Amino acid sequence: MNRRVTQNPLPDSAGHFDIFGGRYVPEALIAALDQLEAEFVAANSDPAFWAELNRLRQEYSGRPTPLTEVPRFAEHCGRARVLLKREDLNHTGSHKINNVLGQALLTKRMGKTRVIAETGAGQHGVATATAAALLGMECRVYMGKVDTDRQALNVARMQLLGAEVVAVESGSQTLKDAMNEAMRDWVASVDDTHYLIGTVAGPHPFPMLVREFQRVISTEIRQQLSERFDRLPDAVAACVGGGSNALGTFADFIDTPQVALYGFEAGGDGVETGRHAASIEGGSVGVLHGMRTYVLQDADGQTIESHSISAGLDYPGVGPEHAWLAATGRANYEAVTDDEAMAAFKLLCRTEGIMPAIESAHALAGVIRLGQRLAIEQPEAEPLIVVCLSGRGDKDVDTAIAYFGLPGHPDLYTGGIA
């Protein structure tokens, strides 16, 4: 079910994807990062580790996830045939559990008893709280105050699962500040605590090991397409915040050049307005959260606050491997605005009876645009596009009520979108 070898030659032994990646962290964390890397390398070649992880994926998380063709939605995507990789059907409602189960088992191997995590939309926090409950570990989740307000349901879920949720009130009070606070906790607690980073970002080895735990998405896509259609996709697409579902969707196709790779970043109000979270399209090379990558920053290098209707994409950086894939041109990255994403959100609900996470709706909107563009550029072609539906939309209903002005609870829509 999962290939056990790292196929991509990158990163190098110090975690660099060419000029991107690396380890820009306090010395106090180096020993823990070295320990984590050594443990991951050992686990990665240990059949017993993968057997346990694959058992949990099947029996607990519900893998493999289906590949669902969505013809009524595809009517809006030019001549493209569109299939959704249903990561929303994982236990806890998103792809985040793929990585969390892997890192939680690593935590146990390292003999650590406590996990901490950062979360934006709350999906990674819920997944981490879930794994901590399953494996009997202590869990604390850092979440920006803005996000605890707009994702109150997920805060309650984490608490019900036994996790402590800390609302972070520093900086922009969103995902980046939650990461800062988690790093501070880790610097002080590294002896017994694992920092379970939720995306392909941060210092080496996180971008590499999170990619490997998310690789299962593309491995299954490839196998399912091969069985059902006996072919490769023409393109795969995913939304990109930090970029873990996208890298999971790309991983097994990176070395297959005939498969186009598309990542859709959060364009917020539009990249030209400056109110967005599109680090690749609207940022520049810098260092943030332990890695060199594309960052939203001002002339001095101070991080600029990102803006997106989607809490999970509201991050002013991006995983270093995405920066590398963008710089080399292997993958294509485009920004999708809040309005485009919400239109796609509604469209998938109405045409297919599937309510996507607003994060995933960015990928759907991108594919509508891509399909229509391909229909003009290659009028004879019927491209087969697989979109990673990274999560389900239940958590976003409050935001949708406010955005569409639905007659829900008055408190939920008169206040506008936080």
Q: Which residues bind another protein (CB under 8 A)?
A: 14, 22-32, 170-171, 176-177, 180, 183-184, 187-191, 286-290, 295, 297, 299-303
As measured in angstroms, the least distance from the Cβ of 144 to another protein is: 13
The minimum distance between CB 15 and another protein, in angstroms, equals 10
The closest of 312, 317, 315 to 284, measured between CA atoms, is 317
Position 192, amino acid? D
Q: Is 382 a catalytic residue?
A: no
| Token duo for residue 300 | 């001095």
- The active-site residue out of 218, 244, 308, 390 is 390
- According to DSSP, the β-strands at 284-288 and 291-295 are antiparallel
C-alpha span between 91 and 61 (Å, rounded): 5
When the beta carbons of 30 and 156 are compared against another protein, the nearer one is: 30
Tell me whether residue 69 is one of the annotated catalytic residues: no
Per the CB < 8 A criterion, the answer to whether 157 and 164 are in contact is no
- Minimum Å gap between C-beta 313 and another protein is 18
Check 39, 118, 181, 212 and give the catalytic one: 118
Q: Does 227 participate in catalysis according to the annotation?
A: no
Catalytic residue among 85, 96, 176, 395: 96
Alpha-carbon span 261 to 367, nearest angstrom: 11
Q: Which is nearer to another protein, 63 or 176 (CB)?
A: 176
Least distance between another protein and beta carbon 325 (Å): 22
- Least Cα distance to 320 among 177, 169, 217, 211 occurs for 211
Select 190 or 375, whichever has its Cβ closest to another protein.
Answer: 190
Output 29 or 348, the one with its CB closest to another protein: 29
Rounded to 5 degrees, φ, ψ at 335 are -100, 145
Going by the DSSP 8-state scheme, the letter that residue 305 receives in this structure is P
Cβ nearer to another protein, comparing 238 with 323: 323
3-state percent breakdown (helix, strand, coil) of the chain, nearest 5: 50, 20, 35
Contact 387, 238 (CB under 8 A): yes
Cis peptide before 71 (omega within 30 of 0): no
Q: Least distance from C-beta 131 to another protein, angstroms?
A: 25
Nearest residue to 7 (alpha-carbon basis) of 231, 205, 232, 211: 211
With vertex at residue 93, the alpha carbon angle to CA 212 and CA 170, rounded to the nearest 5 degrees, is 80
DSSP 356: B
Residues in the chain: 418
DSSP state of 407: S
Report which residue type is found at 338. Answer: D
DSSP string, 372-400: HHHHHHSTT---EEEEE--BBSGGGHHHH
Pick 97 or 175: Cβ nearer another protein: 175
CB of residue 188 vs another protein: minimum separation in angstroms?
4
Residue among 110, 141, 136, 137 at smallest CA distance from 125: 141
Q: Which is nearer to another protein, 24 or 60 (CB)?
A: 24
Give me the residue label for tokens 């803005």.
Answer: 146
Q: State the minimum distance, in angstroms, from the CB of residue 387 to another protein.
A: 32
Catalytic amino acids? 96, 118, 390
